[in-house]
Amino acid sequence: MSPVRPSFIALAGLAGAVAALGATFVDAGLRSAAAGPGLAARGALAARLELTDLALFTEARYTRNPSQADLHAAFQDHPFAFEHFPTGSLVAPAAAKRGRP
Amino acid sequence: MLFQPAIIALILASAVSTLMLASSLPFVVRVLRRWDMASGAETQLEMERRTYLVATLLKLVLVAQGAALVLFVFNADRMASLFTGAMCAVGTLKVDRWGFPALYLHMAVFFLSAFWLVLNHVDNLGWDYPLIRLKYAALLGLAPVVAVAGGVQLAYFLGLRADVITSCCSTLFSGNGITVTSNALAAMPHGVALGLLAAGLAAVAASGAHFLLRGSGGVVHALASAAVLGIGLAAVVSTISVYVYELPHHHCPFCLLKREYGHVGYALYLPLFLGTVCGVGGGIAARTRRHPSLALAAPRAARRLVGVSLACFAAFGVVALWLVLRSHLILFEAAP
Amino acid sequence: MTAGWISRQRHLLDFALSSLGRRRGKNLGLLAVYTLVVFVLASVMLFSHAIRHEARLVLKDSPEVVVQKLVAGRHDLIPAGHLEAIRGVRGVRAAEGRLWGYLFDPAAAANYTLMVPRDQPPAPGTALIGSGVAAVRDAAPGDTLSFRAHDGQLVQFTVAGTLERDSALVSADLFLVSEADFRRLFGVPEGRFTDIVASVRNPREIRTVAEKIDAALPDTRIILRDEILRTYDSVFDWREGMLLVLLSGAILAFGIFAWEKASGLSAEERREIGILKAVGWETSDVIRLKTLEGMVISLTAFLAGYVLGYLHVFHFGAPLFEPVLKGWAVLYPDFRLTPFVDELQVATLFFFTVFPYTVATVVPIWRAATVDPDQVMR
Amino acid sequence: MIRLTDVRKAFNQGRHNEFWALKGIDLRLAAGAVTVFRGPSGSGKTTLLTMVGALARPTSGRVHLEERDISAMPERFLTEIRRSTFGFVFQNFNLIKGLSVVENVMIPAYPVGLPHGRLKARAMDLLERLEMADKAEARAEWLSGGEAQRAAIARALINDPRVLIADEPTANLDSERSAQFLSIVAGLKRDGRTLLMTSHDPMVAEAAVVDRVVSLRDGRQVEAR
């Protein structure tokens, strides 16, 4: 007749939440395995076209190709200047530009 | 300096640890000068209460430093991609001269704070806080170590620049590396390393068993445990890692932690470290029984610690042996 | 001893839970804020890590060495003569000129990346377009697109086909044309290229070869594949770090909030702790009790925030980041991130969120636990 | 069994509002007896109870429990002694609101680490004996004064202490309930427990069950019966 102890509920809940955390790893594994062919196709395309960058940030020339960008492109007078374009706050000038040749 | 989440977390951890210890230093001085168990004055009662805070803070420091140690190694391994030539944690740590000192200091802080907590635990068993002055004096010694560890780590991270050419572990540990110590470790003949390890474990087992049966020789066990930590790490670098990787010249002590090798490093390092903490802690606890109020409690605590340390070292030995036996690599030809 | 220890912890946990339940409003508020903080941090970390990983995998076969000519610090067309010079460097397997550039299309107000693939180029007058281009221009194979060339004349392209949507992450804004069309459109003379890509015989010697090219052609800059990959790693690391530093303001605010909540003991709570101590609880029991309360809250918030962040980034396409990532981009790749999570990330996130909370509550907990046991008698 | 030697207690020591609640008390309390401390408010009788019951340490002087000097013991050990030796019934009962009666009763035993089932059985047993079994699952704040006191007594007895300490036990009770309380006290005395109470209720001081009355004024003992 004694009611379920709260610590039992809490521990069960904790176990459930930890299982959910584990499930994210399983899910990630499954999905990245499923994405394998797509990734390979993307890689093959990049290799064939000799692409060097992702097409993530296309609004400005220097963010389209972070690795190739011109140091002195418009709106980018200084490598650490505040950006005119919003994604400028996500993509820094390429490291290759910042120090080494 | 590299802006990385893990790096920020590590800097945060050491900064907070240092701050917490530093902020308790004035209290430490007060305890050393004014502690008087016989007094019922309010200042004394207040001091007794504050000891709870210091103990809690130290527990937090220990947990944070233990986690930081793992994170530090983990992160060093993960950062290897940022440095040309660095293929694993060793390469990352070799990027500048602060890398390995930072690692060693991390380990030192971890062990020292663990020992302090053992001391604290034993002290709390005696009704008159017999070790209070000793343990607070020890804090005076611990605080600078934590601060220096934080500083060295900061220097290491500040000095990091992606792209620096560094030596990878396979060249570093194959005999022409830069550091003499790592080199000497890696160059240690396999037979010597395994022999030393077996001898060390035997010494630990013998001294531990002697302590459990006779109740004396705790200090010997503590010394043996500390020695096995060194011998164990040397054996891992020189021989056991070779068995795991099945490559005669791959000596990296960190790659063992990677997924490729089934995270087997944790099964080696955790019992080794815990065994050392408990073994040395047992010795510390055994030493304190001279205080009348601890005559009963301290040996009991010491026995428990020594028991745990024996179990841990046994686990370490078993895992090491299993790794050697399981390996396809043959370093010793069977006698004809 | 262990059995007693366990049942003691469970009793404390029972009491901690009912104590949390008795101050439901306050604790649910705290939990909600905490979960939100973890959620945002988790989303940032998962997103950056997945992008980084994706870039690493997709670009692993991109050109080993890219050589660009610089004039007065600006990128300039590279003469074909440099090709021979590069091919002459020992260790270089092959070197080819690339033609690529950006084209602003006023009709869509978008920037395309025009490229000439050396492998299977489209026939003159036709183009292969990326899925983003197809979407903004609503173009299908057979349609005609026309642009103004450098001299003002119209150049027409018939869409020969579109690149797979699946590869949008690298190809959304691509516009692949033939070499003749490219030169005509931009007025690039024969014998000039945008830049040169080279491959190296022995991958270990890339750096040496690069140094040799650099010495032979002082007017160029050299970009290595390793550097590109590393750049992607550090670009997102760096930005993620910056974001975390900015968000650390939020963490700090949360820490203060937690401190406030933990130290703002109500008279009722104070009385309860006094009662507990008077009837035989020791200070460390109370500390443990309060720590358990904190652990319940922080673990719940951490686990819930992390799982929500995971769902947000990988199952719902990170809608909260889209505005920032898209920015003003007209051509945004339609892609779904492949989930990559690793232990280091989760550990770091845990550290970042649980540690500050724990630190913030230590002193308030201790202060609460050292309430005089005899105060209930006063 | 409890011996006090020149016990003094100061509050706000060293500050301008320093105040000595006890100014040198010498006292021996016998085991198995019922003792009442009497005196006007501010006379130090409650402070004295906190010294005797190991809730607080004296500023100077010695408190011996059996042969053990508990006056210089740190809180950590004092608590253990308090938990196993003393049970407290406070003036306003101090039950924790929002918890059921039986949970309230079990609280002092949580740090001991008894299995849950056995602990609960013991708590129910005590409530049964105090005729509170039907209220076991009721919330503490729903109880009447007399019920709350019996719950508090059950809580005080959960660790089976030798000494029960009650601070102004009848202050919040009518005469009928007070009489009921005194009969419970008589029962506890029969069990062999020592009882210490403060009260300025003449009904308590003059009750037949009381063996000894100690009167206090301004932190000093004035007379003893």
pLDDT in tens, C21-48: 888 888 898 899 889 989 988 888 888 8
Residue B184 has pLDDT above 70, yes or no: no
Taking residues B52-77, report their average pLDDT. Answer: 88
Q: Do both C119 and C265 map to the same domain?
A: no
Q: What is the pLDDT of residues C214-256, one digit of tens each?
A: 888 888 888 888 777 777 776 676 667 777 777 777 777 887 8
Chains touching A by CB (3 or more pairs below 8 Å): B, C
Q: Is the pLDDT of residue B166 over 50?
A: no
pLDDT value of residue C326? 63
Residues A25 and A71 in one domain: no
> Other CB atoms closer than 10 Å to residue D88's CB: what's the count?
28
Q: Are residues B191 and B242 in the same domain?
A: yes
Look at residues C177, C195, C223 and tell me which one is the last residue of a structural domain: C223
Interchain proximity D91–C377, CB inside 8 Å: yes
DSSP type of residue A2: P
Residue D19 tokens, joined: 């105040």
Using CB atoms, pick whichever of C21, C280, C376 lies closest to residue D79: C280
Task: Compare D218 and B1 and report the one with higher pLDDT.
Answer: D218
Tell me: do C173 and C95 sit in the same domain: yes
Whether C361 is in a domain gets the answer: yes
Q: Say if residue B106 is in the same domain as residue B216.
A: no
Tell if the CB–CB gap between C237 and B2 is shorter than 8 Å.
Answer: yes
Same-domain check for residues A37 and A5: yes
Is the residue at C7 inside a domain?
Answer: no
Q: How confident is the model at residue C200 (pLDDT cuts 50, 70, 90)?
A: confident
Which residue ranges of chain A lie beneath pLDDT 70?
1-3, 59-63, 66-101
CB contact (8 A) between residue C111 and residue A64: yes
Number of domains in chain B: 2
pLDDT tens digits, residue range C161-188?
888 888 888 888 888 999 888 898 888 8
Residue B333 has pLDDT above 60, yes or no: no
What percent of chain D lies above the pLDDT cut of 90? 36
Do C103 and C55 have their domain in common? Answer: no
Same structural domain, A68 and A97: yes
Asked if C359 and B53 count as a contact pair (C-beta separation under 8 A), the reply is: no
* Predicted local distance difference test score (pLDDT) of residue B86: 67
pLDDT at C375 over 70: yes
Instruction: Measure CB to CB from residue A64 to each of C102, C303, C314 and give the nearest one.
Output: C102
- The top-scoring range by mean pLDDT among C257-261, C361-365, D162-166, D216-220 is D162-166
Query: How close does chain B come to A49, measured CA to CA in Å?
Result: 25
Q: Are residues C112 and C211 in the same domain?
A: yes
- Closest CB to A55: pick one of C172, C214, C300: C172
> What pLDDT was estimated at residue B178?
34
Find, in chain D, the residue whose alpha carbon is nearest to that of C6: D113
- In chain C, residues with a C-beta closer than 8 Å to the C-beta of D82 are 280
Same domain, C42 and C183: no
Number of domains in chain A: 2
* Of B38 and B225, the one with more pLDDT: B225
Do C92 and C106 lie in one domain? The reply is: yes
Please indicate if any CB of chain C lies within 8 Å of the CB of D114. yes
Distance (Å) from the alpha carbon of B152 to chain D's nearest alpha carbon: 39
Instruction: Report chain A residues whose CB lies below 8 A from the CB of C353.
Output: none
Assess whether pLDDT exceeds 70 at residue B293. Answer: yes
Interface of A with C in 4-33 (CB under 8 A): 5-7, 9-11, 13-14, 17-18, 20-21, 24-25, 27-28, 31-32
Provide the token pair at D168: 């102004």
Query: At which residue do the structure tokens 């009167």 appear?
Result: D215
State residue D190's pLDDT score.
Answer: 93
A23 and A43, same domain (yes or no): yes
Q: What percent of chain D has pLDDT over 70?
A: 99
> Which residues, 6+ apart, have CB-to-CB distance to C118 below 8 Å?
A50, C96, C98
Find the distance separating the first CA and the last CA of chain D, reported in whole Å: 18
CA C284 to chain centroid, in Å, comes to: 43
pLDDT of C150 higher than 90: no
Q: Is C307 domain-assigned?
A: yes
Whole-angstrom distance, CA of residue A37 vs CA of residue A34: 7
One domain, residues A2 and A46: yes
The stretch C334-360 carries a mean pLDDT of 84
**Residue A99 has what pLDDT?**
47
pLDDT score recorded for residue B73: 86
Taken in order of first residue, the domains within chain D and their CATH numbers are 2-224 (3.40.50.300)
Same-domain pairing of B246 and B115: no
Interface size, chain A vs chain C, as Cβ–Cβ contacts under 8 Å: 220
> Is the same domain home to A2 and A47?
yes
Question: In this structure, are B200 and B158 located in the same domain?
Answer: no
Task: For residues C72 and C219, state if they share a domain.
Answer: yes
State mean pLDDT over C191-217.
84
CA dihedral C3, C4, C6, C7 (to 10 degrees): 110
B163 chain-C contacts, CB cut-off 8 A: 227, 230
Q: Are residues B34 and B151 in the same domain?
A: yes
Top-confidence residue, B108 or C219: B108
Considering the domain boundaries, does residue C5 fall inside one?
A: no
Residues B128, B233 share a domain: no
Same-domain status, C235 and C370 = yes
B116 lies in which domain range? 1-167
How high is the mean pLDDT of chain C?
84
Q: How far is residue C176 from each of residues B141, C145, C198, C216, D71, measured CA to CA in Å?
A: 68, 13, 21, 32, 91
In this structure, the answer to whether residues B202 and B230 fall within a common structural domain is: yes
A95 to chain B: which residues are within 8 Å by CB?
162-163
| Same-domain check for residues C73 and C217 | yes
Using CB atoms, which residue from C226, C284, C345 is nearest to B84?
C226
Encode burial over B40-77: b for 16+ CB neighbours within 10 A, e otherwise: bbbebbebbbbbbbbbbbbbbbbebbbbbbbbbbbbbb
Confidence of residue B174 (pLDDT cuts 50, 70, 90): very low
Say if residue B64 is in the same domain as residue B53: yes
Nearest residue of chain B to residue A101 (CA atoms): B163
Q: Which residue has the tokens 């508090």?
A: D152
Last residue of a domain, one of B132, B151, B167: B167
Assess whether B204 and B253 both reside in one domain: yes
Q: Do B243 and B147 share a structural domain?
A: no
d(C-alpha B261, C-alpha B257), whole Å: 7
Q: Are residues A61 and A101 in the same domain?
A: yes
A14 with A60, same domain: the answer is no
Is the domain of B177 the same as that of B303?
yes
C69 and C217 share one domain: yes
Query: Which chain C residues touch B74 with a CB distance below 8 Å?
Result: 343-344, 347
Q: How far apart are CA C302 and CA A8, in angstroms?
A: 20
| pLDDT on residue B183 | 52
Confidence of residue B26 (pLDDT cuts 50, 70, 90): very high
pLDDT of residue B96 exceeding 70, the answer is yes
Q: Rounded to the nearest 5°, which phi and psi values hold at C261? A: -65, -40
In a domain, C299, yes or no: yes
**pLDDT surpassing 90 at residue D162:** yes
CB-CB neighbors (< 8 A) of C376 in chain D: 90, 94
Q: What residues in chain B have their Cβ under 8 A from chain D's Cβ atoms? A: 37-43, 45, 48-49, 124, 127-129
Q: Which one of D17, D25, D59, D80 makes the best mutation probe of the B interface by having the most chain B beta carbons within 10 Å?
A: D59
* Of C366, C186, C184, residue with least CA distance to C273: C366
Of C7, C278, C280, the CB nearest to D116: C7
Distance to chain D for B125, nearest Cα, Å: 9
Among the residue ranges A85-89, B105-109, D150-154, the one predicted with the least confidence is A85-89
- The pair of structure tokens assigned to B152 is 């060295």
Q: How far apart are CA D156 and CA D143, in angstroms?
A: 17
- Tokens 């991390």 belong to B106
Task: Specify whether A1 is located in the same domain as A44.
Answer: yes
Which among B8, B16, B81 is the nearest to C359, CB-wise?
A: B16
Q: State which amino acid sits at residue D62.
A: R
Q: Which residue has the tokens 């076209």?
A: A49
Domain end marker among B113, B146, B167: B167
Q: Hey, CA dihedral for D40, D41, D43, D47, is it positive or negative?
A: positive
Percent of chain B exceeding pLDDT 90 equals 28
Q: Is B165 on the interface with A (CB under 8 A)?
A: no
Host domain of residue A40: 1-51
DSSP letter for each residue of B172-209: IIIII-S-HHHHHHHHS-HHHHHHHHHHHHHHHHHHHH
Q: What is the pLDDT of residues C288-298, one digit of tens each?
A: 999 999 899 99
* Alpha-carbon distance A96 to nearest alpha carbon in chain B (angstroms): 9
**Average pLDDT of the residues in B124-141:** 88
* Total domains, chain C: 2
Give the C-alpha distances (Å, rounded to integers) separating B143 from B19, B71, B123, B138, B155. Answer: 9, 21, 20, 9, 18
C238 shares a domain with C219: no
B177 pLDDT higher than 60: no
pLDDT band at B247, cuts 50/70/90? confident
Distance, in Å, from the CA atom of B123 to the CA atom of C30, rounded to the nearest integer, reads 37
pLDDT above 50 (res D206): yes
Contacts with B9 from chain C: Cβ below 8 Å: 348, 351-352, 355
- C93 and C206 both lie in a single domain: yes
Domain range enclosing C134:
65-223
Looking at residue C178, what DSSP letter applies? -
What pLDDT sits at residue B126? 83
Q: Are strands D68-69 and D86-89 parallel, antiparallel or unpaired?
A: unpaired
**B247 in the same domain as B221:** yes
What mean pLDDT value characterizes chain B? 82
Which partners does chain D have (≥3 C-beta pairs < 8 Å)? B, C
Three-state SS at C146: strand
Average pLDDT over residues C38-60: 85
- Region for C55 from its dihedrals, namely left if φ exceeds 0, alpha if ψ lies in -120 to 50, beta otherwise: alpha
